[in-house]
Structures are given as C-alpha cells and as structure tokens.
Structure 1
Amino acid sequence: MSQKSLIYALVAGAVVALAFVLNPSADQHRAKIKAAVAERSPLAGALGIGALAAFASTYHPLGVASYTTVNGKTVSWGAFGMVFFIHPSPEK
C-alpha cells in the first residue's frame, strides 16, 4: 500500500469516527423541531405546537446520521452535529 493510499484511508476512518461521535441526539432533533415550528408560526410556537410535535416524534439513529419522523413522515435529519428541519409538503 502506498503512503498516499494510507493517508486517504486514515482520513476516511477519522471522518467516519467523527460522524459517529457527532451524531445528533434525540434532544437536539426535538429542539430543532420546536424552533422551526416557532419560527414558521409564532402563534404555533406560543401555543406549544412545536413542543407537541417534538414530543410525538420518533428518533431513528443510523450511526453516522439520524432522523426523526412524525406520523411516518420524516421531519428532520442530522449528521456531524447539525440538524435540519424538513418542511412537510401538503397532502394531495
């Protein structure tokens, strides 16, 4: 194995290890859901709709990433310590 290949393998291993360590927790997902609902609708935030949605969410860890669902729909996903809220599309 060449030195260049060894360096690439070590860097890839470090990135995967970092992804495992920084995988967002369920609490981080719930906090993001609450904040996103409050940002989208201040009234819903004041009424605690975001807290209710966060409470009803189900956390799914994948090791290097994670996501949450509410009623079978993905509402957030996260990796490397960051959580992203997915704005649900209206039913057709």
Structure 2
Amino acid sequence: MKRAASTLLVVAALVAAAALLNPSAERHRQKIRQAMGERSPIAGMLGLGTLKAFASNYRSLGVASYTTAGDRVASVGAFGFVYVLQ
C-alpha cells in the first residue's frame, strides 16, 4: 500500500510539473523563427521564420502543446522544451 501511494505521488508531481512547464505560444513561435534561420540562412534573412511563426496556431493539451501551420504540425512542446518539426 505504501509503494502504491508513493508511486501515485510521483506521478502526480510529474503531471503537475508538466502542466507548469508547458511552453507558451510565444515560446513556440520563438523556436520556429530560430529553427528556420538556422536551417536556411536565406530564409532567415527574408524573415520566412517570422511569417511561419505568425501563421501558426497554438494548441495546449494541458501538459503538452503544439502548433500547426495549415494542416501540418510545426512544433511540439512539453516540460519547457519545444521541438520544431521539419
């Protein structure tokens, strides 16, 4: 019984941490701009990362979040980290 309670406490702490560290919409947009500039210097100079970041739609799942650009997922985030998909 004691082991189950400690496991439940750890899971609850992880869920709470995920909810508190869920990346914001601005954090997703910042990472999209940064990734576009790193992947293509020309796209960075032309501001295409800013355009893609502006056109993205932010969705939060409570413990994780993602952005879409059109019908494609542009970035995913959880625990404070954001990963930009190609």
TM-score bucket of the superposed structures, by smaller chain: over 0.9
AA in 1 matched with 2:12: G
- Structure 1 segment 59-78 matched on structure 2, within 5 A: 59-78=58-77
- Structure 1 segment 1-92 matched on structure 2, within 5 A: 2-87=1-86
Instruction: Provide, for residues 3-56 of structure 1, a one-character-per-residue CA deviation record: whole Å limited to 9, x for no partner.
Output: 111100000000000000000000010001001100110011011100000000
**Which secondary structure does the structure 1 equivalent of 2:9 belong to?**
helix
Displaced runs of 4 or more, over 2 A? none
Aligned positions, number: 86
**Unpaired runs of at least 5, structure 1:** 88-92
Structure 1: how far apart are the matches of 2:69 and 2:3? Answer: 45
Structure 2 length normalisation: TM-score?
0.98
Identity across matched positions, percent: 52
